[in-house]
C-alpha cells in the first residue's frame, strides 16, 4: 500500500509495502544480535507485547501500534530514527530570502 500524506503544504509518499517489512526485518536482525538467546516470545515479553504482536512486528504489519515499535527501539538503543520523524529540515537560504 502506498500512503500519500499532506505535509506542511507538500506531500510525502510512504511505500508501506517496502518500508514496514524492511523495518520488521531490521528488528529481527537486531533482536538476534543483541539478545541471541531470546526467541520471539521472550523478546516480546521484554518489550511488553504478546508473541502474536511481536511476530506481526517482525513482518512489518501495519496493524501494530507505533508505540510497540518504539518500545523495541528503546530496548535496542536505536531510537534516533524515531526522533527524526516529522522533523522538517530548515533551509537557511529560504529563511534568509535568498
Confidence of residue 75 (pLDDT cuts 50, 70, 90): very high
The pLDDT tens digits of the residues spanning 3-40 come to: 444 444 555 555 666 788 888 999 999 999 999 999 99
Average pLDDT over residues 69-73: 93
CB atoms within 10 A of CB 46: 15
Grid cell listed for 32: 538476534
Q: Tell me the residue ranges of DSSP E strands in 31-92.
A: none
Confidence of residue 91 (pLDDT cuts 50, 70, 90): low
Kindly report the pTM of this predicted structure: 0.72
Write down the pLDDT at residue 28.
95
Grid cell listed for 31: 533482536
Write down the pLDDT at residue 15.
61
Q: Chain-wide mean pLDDT for the chain?
A: 81
Which CATH code fits 18-87?
Answer: 1.10.260.40
Residues 6+ apart with CB under 8 A from 55: 40
If residue 73 lies in a helix (H) or strand (E), which one and from where to where?
helix 66-75
Amino acid at each position: 500500500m502506498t500512503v500519500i500524506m499532506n505535509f506542511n503544504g507538500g506531500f510525502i509518499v510512504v511505500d508501506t509495502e517496502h518500508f514496514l517489512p524492511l523495518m520488521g526485518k531490521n528488528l529481527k536482525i537486531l533482536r538476534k544480535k543483541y539478545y541471541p538467546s531470546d526467541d520471539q516470545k521472550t523478546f516480546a515479553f521484554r518489550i511488553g507485547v504478546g508473541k502474536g504482536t511481536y511476530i506481526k512486528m517482525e513482518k512489518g504489519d501495519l496493524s501494530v501500534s507505533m508505540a510497540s515499535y518504539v518500545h523495541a527501539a528503546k530496548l535496542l538503543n536505536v531510537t534516533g530514527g524515531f526522533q527524526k520523524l516529522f522533523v522538517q529540515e530548515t533551509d537557511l537560504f529560504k529563511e534568509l530570502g535568498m
